[in-house]
Every structure is written in structure tokens, then in C-alpha cells.
Structure 1
Amino acid sequence: MSAPDALLAADPVLTKVAGPGSPFEIGEREGLRQFVAAPPDLNLLIESARRFGTRTCVVDFDSAGTERRMSYDQVFAWRDQLVPILHIARGDRVAIAMRNRSEWLVAFLAVIKGGGVAVLVNSRGSGPELLAMLEDVDPAVVLADSERAAAIREAGFTGRVLDLTKPFDAEELARRAGNAAPDAGLAKATDPCAILFTSGTTGRVKGAVLSHRNVITGLMTTQMSGMIVLGNMAAQMGTTTEALIAQMPQQASLLVYPLFHISGLGSGFLSPFLGGGKVVIMRRWDAEEAARLIAAEQISMFSAVPTMLWDILHRARIDGTSLSSLRNIGCGGQALPVNLVEEVHALCPHAQIGTGYGMTECSGAIAQAVGPEFMARPAAAGRRLSMVDVRIEGPDGAILPPGETGEIVVRGAQVMLGYWNRPEETTAVLTPDGWLRTGDVGLVDEDGYVFIVDRKKDMVISGGENIYCAEVERVLGTIPGLTECAAFGLPDERLGERLVAVVIAPDIDEAGVIEWVASHLARYKAPTRVAVTTTPLPRNALGKVDKIALRKLWPTLSGEQ
């Protein structure tokens, strides 16, 4: 029995959704499970959304704060107008540096249509951080909003920049349309599609290169998981999946994840877009505004970090705003506290709660659990998804049995091509036969649930943002007079974790240290507290700062109890 056949035989629900002849039929190619009907080019999937025509596609606010609504027809018209202005060829890299807004969505669609590779720049970065990312990939053009365009120029970028928040001259549009680049044709499945930046233990950003097949597999896996959930719901209600879908109103999702994150790009934008959903974009997180939008726009899907879930539930308790439209509430990156799950159930009794575990290098989720599956193992990060192979390896590389703890290693058609211009770092995480070392320590139980125990990477997840301690420590090390420093995370009920630091620096105080980091990196990467000391930091036998000991010393060093 082949791997796909064995997989389907083990799960009758999956058999209905992914069996022979279905849109999600699973086959084996090049030793990997793949979707038989998947197109080679992401743009072919995008084009399929034209069928939604006059249906509302996006709701957001322009630079002046005015609400705007666009249909699928209007979004495609805007995209088609932008493509010739880009004047790019197959494989050209095009950077997108904007906050979450309609222009970002249109920019991405246009880059893919034009045959380019979308380089998703962290819009929250400082000017120098933005410049470092741009210089790394050498883009043919940068698509920006006014704020990012100014920051890039001030940092010294001399390449081509288009500010999409300013209207183009009609004559320029006509001239570009008449002198458009040749049609890019279809991409090959293994062609680069997007580059998303991530950090490692060195604290230096690197671009994960995702192919068209990677991104499409990630998206179709998410869609298939949704169909499985609907299939289970239909069975419980004594109806068919088709009948259930026909009765459902248009799905509406509230986009709060940054679009330069894989969660924002995939589950926040492309997945609802391809399903004909309405994407409602917030300019910035505000619990009161989020509650208003959920009620006004009848938001049915809301995926956020625990911090935001706590905020929205607290706001609903205070002002009585209805959250009754919510049908799917998701959370990823951090485990959901039991009391948060109970609060969600109390205020949103009809909503399915879910969680997931994934990473940029895997084009999205590796494990996921929704509804009853989630409630069966609420402490898990999710259940291994059918398109991904997951194994646990010991320190010696030996494959460990279910229930034993080691490094989580994964393989599948959604695993990245590698890191842009980083062959050594690529080799360090990707084996010759395609297994990706995640750097996360965990276990997989007998039922396929994945549990995260620890991270090999020295990283803090605060409010859903990844903060790499090595990056912060490198900036701390530039403070004049500083002799020692260490950054690490502490548990925080609201943020999940908060970043703190201990420094030996005689000529600067806590506020000065925080501002120093905030002025050199994105502000969210600055420590929330800093303990300035004259005592040498504890070190282990290898001479490295002992952060376990520092955490124990933190109450004494900081005065926090």
C-alpha cells in the first residue's frame, strides 16, 4: 500500500475529502505526498477567485482613516493596472514594505501575476533594518507606503521605489500599459514564489525562499483541513457538507497578523481570498475597535495571539459587544491557557476553537487541531497535518518513538527551498533528503499530537512576535561602556512572554537601555524591563551566560517579586 493510500485508509473522513477524483486528491511525487490537482503557479489559484465578482473582498481604512470597501472585481482591476507598472520579468525580486492595507494585498497579487518573487519586508523594522533586508535581496523595485518609502530613502536605499499610497498619473498608466513587459508565462512548481524574513540564533535576519509548490501546498492543506472540519460538523448535524456550505453566509475574517508573517499571508489573506471570504483589515490593534468590527462586519473567523484574545474578551465583558458571529477562533505560536479557553467558550459558545504550530520555513502549519480535536488535547500545539511527515530525533540523530522528547524534524512539499544566499545556514537545517530541523524540542504522542517542550533557539514569543535574544544582545553590546549583557524571556499572563535584560553598564540607566534598543531595532524588540548591575553575570562550565540562573536572580536584580 502506498503512503497516500495508507494515510487515507487510516482516516475515513480524510478519504471523503482527499480521495481519488476530489479537489484535494493526494498522490506521491518525488517521494513526497502532494496534491494531484495542484497547479504549478500560485497565480492560477489566484485567478480562480475572479469568480467571486461583485462580492466584497476587502474592508480597510486608507491613509486618511476613511473606510473603503472593494469587491473582488475591483481588486483584480487594480492588480491588473499595477502589473505593467512593475515592468518585471520571471524571477525578479520585488519587495513589499507596507503596513497591513489594501495596497499590500494588491501589490502581492501583482507581483505574482507579473512572474516576480514577492519579498515580504518586516514593515515594523527601523530604517536600517529595512535597508539590511533590501540590500540582502537586491530587489528590482520596492512597493511601499509613504512612511516606509521615507524610512528606506533616509537609510540610504538608492533603488527603485513605488509609493502605492499615492495615485499614479493617468498618462504614466497609459504609457506603462503600452510598454508592458512580456507575459511571464507559467511558473514551474519549484520556482521561487516568495521570500519571508526570519531570524536564527545568530540574531541576523535571513530570507526563507518558498517555491510556488511550497506556498500552494500550505494553502491547500489549510483548505483541506477546513473541509474536514465542515465534514465533521455536517455529520453531527445529519446533513451533507455541500448543504452546510450552501446555508453559510460569506465568511468574514479579521486580519490582525502582519502580512509579512506566514500566518498573515496564508491564513490571514490568501486562504480567505481563495475561498471568496471578506478580509477586514485593522490599521493597528485596538480591542474596542476590534469588538466593533466583529459586530459590524459579522466577523466569523478570528485568529490571534492569546494577548489579543484576552483583550477582546475583556472588552466584550465591559461594554457588552456581541461576539455571536464568531464561528472559528484560532490561536498559534503559544499554548492557550485553560482559563482563556473557558472564557472563550463562555462568551462564544458556538465558536470552534483551534490552535496550530508552524513556521515560515514550512509555508505555514505543521500541526493543527480544531473543535473536538483541540479539546481532546488542549495542551498540544495541534495534530500532525496529513501532508507533513514529522519525527523526533535525539541528540545523536536517532529517531525516537512516540512520547519521547527530542528535536522536531519535518519533511513535506511545503518545506522551503532554503535561505536566500545562505548556503551554510541552509545546510545546517535542511538534510539532503529534505528533512527540516525546526530547532524546537518536543514530542509526538501515539495519536499524532505534537507537544512543544522547549526551543533550541534562544527566542522569546511576546504578544505573538518572535524576538531573538541574540539580535537584542548584539545591539546592547554597542552601548558605550557596557561590559556584559543578557536578554531572556519571562512568563507573562497577557503577552505569553516578555523580554527583559540584565546589563553591566555604568553610564546608562534602565530607560536609556530600553530607548537604545528601540532606536536600533523595531520598538517591540526592546526589553520591557532592564536590570542594571555591577555584579558579573553567572556563567556555566562553557563560559556562557547562565540564563537559567539569571531568571532565578531576576527578582533580586530587578526588585520585582
Structure 2
Amino acid sequence: MSTIDPTVAQLTAPGTPFAIGEQDGMRRFVNAPASLDMLIESGRRHGAATFVVEGDARLSFDDVFARRDALAAALPVTPGEHVVICMRNRAAWMVAFLAVMRAGGVAVLVNSRGAPAELRAAVEDFAPPLVLADRERAELLRQSGYDGDILEAKDFPLEGGADFVPPARGRDDPATVLFTSGTTGRVKGAVLTHGNMVTALMGVQLSGLMVLHDVARKMGVAPEALMVGRPQAAVLLVYPLFHISGLVANFLTPLLTGGKVVIMRRWDAEEALRLIEAERISMFSGVPTMLWDVLHRARLADADLSSLTNIASGGQALPINLLDAIRERCPNAAMGTGYGMTETSGTVAMAVGEDFIRRRAATGRVLDLYEVRIEGPDGAALPPGEAGEIVVRGPTVMQGYWNRPEETAAVLGPDGWLRTGDIGYVDDENYLFIVDRKKDMVISGGENIYCAEVERVLSLIPELVECAAFGLPDERLGERLVAVVVGEGLDEDKVRHHVGEHLARYKAPVRVGISTVTLPRNGLGKVDKAQLRSLWPQLAGDR
């Protein structure tokens, strides 16, 4: 059976803007611009349309590009030098990133939620000539003892720089550094090139075109007809901009396509509902907890969610009961899912709309730019349907970890294959299924138990809001599987029995902790299982 989607074949054929061909031994967009700044510049065409909404402030594309030009001309940066950006989600963060790209620098995107010592350590690892920060982070850096140059957002120039000539940057030059979550070790900075970022962004644009063409085909009209009179797309920005999802999907993609970005300073479900209605938000992507919050509050308030046409989740798998609840409340919204990581500049596999619904357990279909290999413990390639470590090769795979040669060599081969650390399999239609993290497998009594498999079964419980399964040391078994669940009307015996009915009995959690509050998460929205392990005695009680 062919694994090439006919719409993809049409949109990526020779002579099209998204034509894919072989270059330097890898499948690439052959018409891609050489640098991220060149691609960003295409967003200038949207002119007076609103681009950023931050509180009462509204900035047009013209406003943002004018501020970008002014700051780029003022930056004391030579091509290839690092510039650290350390601030919360705000319009100034966006201007800072665009300006660093314009000036030819490498934008280092620091987790703004870190403690002073963490911020200082991250900044000093790059020895930047300048840090671009908001007032709060500038104060934290000074408190930590950092004595380098800091330019605060309030002092960014607002005009000038129209005659600035940007330095040339190429496909293989570093563009930005994003930090991995560090849930399985120390935090590492993934170095992403201009080619990585340009390809990732063009991939997102291509996926949007795929949906448009598929809908048009089903309706029997030309794709252009669907765009006539269509309102401006609007994104609710809840992911941090230092996260690959926030950067690529919720900031740079709307910049290129003429969308509006509405910034939420902190998560609040009632405020999210207000903004969805007031700003006619069409795209909302958040972790499952946020989606549950919105659905629950919407039911209570009878809120208007009719503007939502695209809903996606990130940070963890989308629970099946949540998927059903979203489809019931927002029947006209296209659901989407994908698989990717910081080290791959975002998405490697994706499914949207009906493509997603027909394989709800999958994390998407492998995109045409990538090679995905499933390897057994001995490194041998496994056939379709067999689970092993997912190994990826493609034009968005990172250059390596900054100043971490040994850790880079452990995951990235000289031939460009990246070991993801995830366990999964590919079916005969090129759908990718994630079984678990390689390091998140529990070996109990000699049996391998994949936590993600248990979590997916737990998500079938109607009352469940969120869950996490993980292993704890056990003298007799080696490890024992436990779970923490959030939801009304749940009890330990019911949860254990449910898992035992759907999976082998040995995969049922030995103990289940019931939490009355949202599960702890790290800065990238993923459940923090290390913190859950430390909280386990309180969650489980003394038995």
C-alpha cells in the first residue's frame, strides 16, 4: 500500500513552492530560502493587519517589523555570536528574536521561569555579548551575580534601522539554541540551524495547505474559494516562546501566514474563554489539563467556542476521553496531533482532521521529509508493527548539544541519524505509534511495562482528567508500577480493576494515588514524574 498522501504528492511536486527533492543526500524543500531571516522577511507583506495582542496593546505587522529593524541595527553583535533572550511571553520577546535573526546572531532561548542561579548558569555557558531581558529577569540575573551587559525590553529602540543591511547567513549556520526539558538528565541546549528552522516552518505551512486542499476536495470547490472572506486566523499563545511549539507553531507560523497572536500572561481558564470569544481565536493548542479546563468552564458558562477551527495538544498524548469530549463540544474543529522534539526542531510525524481520527492511537503519519527507523536492542531494523527505539533522520535534526560533545555523540550519529529515546512502531501506512520513553519503562518481576500504554488505558475512564504512571524501587520485583490520577469519583480499586481488564494483569498499578490538584509539570508542559515520585508518600498515604 502506498504511504504517500496524494495531496502531499500534489503540493510537493516539482515546480511548486513546496517542491521536495534530494539535496546533499537528504530530502529537502528545494526552493527553501537560505536563512530564517529571509523567510521571516516575507511576513512584512501583511502590513497594517494586527499581529500581536498583549493586554490592551495591539501591534500590527508594520509595528513589529519597525521595532525589529530598529533593534537589529542597535545590537552589538557579529554574525554567529550568541545573544540570550530571557523574558516572559510578550511582544518584546518576539521583537528580540526577530532582531537577533536580522543581525545574524544566534538566539539562545533561556527558560525564563528558572531560579537566579539557573538563569546565570545558562547565560554564562554561552558568554554572550548581550542579554535581552525584561525587568524581572534582569533583576534576577543581577541578584545571581551576573555582571554582563543586559538590555532591558523597556529600552529597546522603537524606530530607525531602515537602512540596516543584514549579514548573509546560510543553511548550515546556527540560528537558535533551545533547551531540552532535562527530565532524564541535566538540561542541554539543542543547536538548531537556519536550515532546520526554515524547513520546520515550511513543514507547518505545508500541513495547513494539506488540510485546506482536503476540505476543498470534499466540498467540490477550489482551495482558493475557501479563502475568500475567511476571517484572520488567530492563535491563543499559552506555550512558552522558549519551547519549540511556542516558537514555531504559535509565533513564527502566524507571522508568515498573516495570523494574529493573542498572548496570555498566565493560564486562567475563564480568561482563555473570554479571549477565545472576544478575539475570535481559531487555533488553540495546549496541554490536556488546559483543554479540560476550557471544556469544563465552557459548559458552566455556556461559552461561545464557535470560532475554534483547529485544536491540538502537546506535551503528552491526548487522552481518548478528552478527544471525545472536544469533538462533542466543537464538532467543526479539526483535531490534530504530532510527534517531534526540540532536537528535531518540532514535528516529524503529524495527523490532522480525518487523518487523525482514523488512527486515534497514532501520533501522526511520518512526514515525507523524514526517514524513520525502528531499532531493536541490538541495533537491527525492525519490520512494521514491531516496537523498538525510534531513530530519525531528516533536514530538521539539530546540529548537536552546545558544549556537550559526549552527550551529542550518544544520540546523534555522523550519518545524521538521531536516537530519540522513544519506543514506538510504524504501521504499513507510515503511521507512527509511541509506546513509551525508553527511560520510562518499568521492569517489574522481569516483565517490561510501558507507562504510556498504561496511561492510555487509564485515559479511557470517563471521570479521569489526567494521570501519570511510573516505577518505584521494590526489593522483590526490582520495580513496582504505581499511578497517580486526577478526577472526581475515582477510587484505587476501580482504577486498578480498569487497567487489569484492558491489559495484562501484571500491568495494573500496584498502588494508585488520588490527587485533588493538577499534576506538577516542568517548563515545557510535561508531567514531572521526578516530582511525583517525591510526593508519592503523601499521595499514597501510609499503608
Scaled by the length of structure 2, the TM-score of the pair is: 0.82
CA distance in 1, matches of 2:123, 2:538: 43
1:443 equivalent in structure 2: 425
Instruction: Select 2:261's aligned residue among 279, 291, 305.
Output: 279
**What is the distance in 2 between the residues matched to 1:208 and 1:560?**
42
Counterpart among 368, 372, 376 of residue 390 in structure 1 = 372
RMSD of aligned Cα (Å):
3.1
CA contact (8 A) 2:70 2:157 kept: no
What is the alpha-carbon distance in structure 2 between the residues aligned to residue 255 and residue 489 of structure 1? 34
Give me the whole-angstrom Cα distance separating, in 2, the residues matched to 1:16 and 1:81. Answer: 41
**How far, CA to CA, are the matches of 1:60 and 1:390 in structure 2?**
40
Output one character per residue of 1:388-434: Cα deviation in whole Å (capped at 9) or x when no partner: 11110011100000100100000000000001111111111011110
Whether the aligned pair in 2 keeps the contact of 1:335 and 1:380 (CA below 8 Å) is: no
- Relative to structure 1, is the Cα distance of residues 416 and 523 closer, same or farther in structure 2, using a 3 angstrom cutoff? closer
Specify whether residues 199 and 332 from structure 1 end up closer, same or farther in structure 2 by C-alpha distance, changes over 3 A only: closer
Matched to 2:402, the amino acid is W
Query: What residue identity is the alignment partner of 2:295?
Result: L
Give the AA of the match of 1:314. Answer: H
Structure 2 residue aligned with 1:43: 37
CA distance in 1, matches of 2:320, 2:85: 38
What secondary structure does 1:38 align onto? coil
| Structure 2 Cα separation of the partners of residues 246 and 72 of structure 1 | 21
Q: CA deviation at 1:31?
A: 1.0
1:457 shift after superposition: 3.4
Residue 230 of structure 1 is matched in structure 2 by: 212
Matched residue SS, 1:27:
strand
The one-letter code matched in structure 1 to 2:281 is I
Partner of 1:84: 73
The equivalent of 2:19 in structure 1 is 25
2: CA distance between counterparts of 1:254 and 1:248? 18
Are 1:16 and 2:10 an aligned pair?
A: yes
Matched with 2:463 is none
Name the residue aligned to 2:248. Answer: 266
Deviation of 1:366 after TM superposition, in Å, equals 1.1
Tell me the secondary structure at the aligned position of residue 414 of structure 1: coil
Encode CA deviations 1:448-495: one digit per residue, 9 max, x unaligned: 111111112359999xxxx9x9xxxxxxxxxxxxxxxx999844447x
Aligned residues: 478
Q: Residue 527 of structure 1 aligns with which residue?
A: 531
For 1:506-540, what per-residue CA distance to the aligned partner results, in whole angstroms no more than 9, with x for missing partners?
xxxxxxxxxxx99xxx9996836746xxxxxxxxx
2:209 counterpart SS class: helix
CA distance in 2, matches of 1:16, 1:362: 25
Counterpart mapping for 1:347-386 below 5 A: 347-386=329-368
What is the rounded CA distance, in whole Å, between the counterparts of 2:331 and 2:28 in structure 1? 36
Paired with 1:523 and 1:214, the residues of 2 have a C-alpha distance of: 24
Q: Deviations over 1:151-178 (max 9, x none)?
A: 11111111111110x24589xx88xx69
Q: How far off its partner does 1:556 sit? A: 9.5
Asked if structure 2 preserves the Cα contact closer than 8 Å seen for 1:59 and 1:281, the reply is yes
Q: Secondary structure at the match of 2:57?
A: strand
Corresponding residue number in structure 1 for 2:501: none
Unaligned runs of 5+ in 2: 442-450, 456-467, 471-478, 488-519
Mapped contact 1:352–1:370 kept (Cα < 8 A)? yes
Partner of 2:138: 149
Q: Which residue of 2 aligns with 1:206?
A: 188
CA displacement at 1:304 relative to structure 2:
0.9
Structure 1 residue 429 corresponds to structure 2 residue 411 = yes
Structure 1 residues not aligned, in runs of 5+ = 1-5, 62-66, 470-485, 495-516, 532-553
Alpha carbons 2:85, 2:93 under 8 Å: kept: yes
CA distance in 2, matches of 1:310, 1:557: 22
Matched position secondary structure for 1:137: coil
Report what 1:248 is aligned to. Answer: 230
- How many Å separate the matches in 2 of 1:487 and 1:217? 43
Partner of 2:151: 162
- 1:336–1:379: 8 Å Cα contact kept in structure 2? no
| Counterpart residue number, 2:89 | 100
How has the CA–CA distance of structure 1 residues 27 and 212 changed in structure 2, closer, same or farther, with 3 Å as cutoff? same
Contact 1:393 1:400 in 2 (8 A): yes
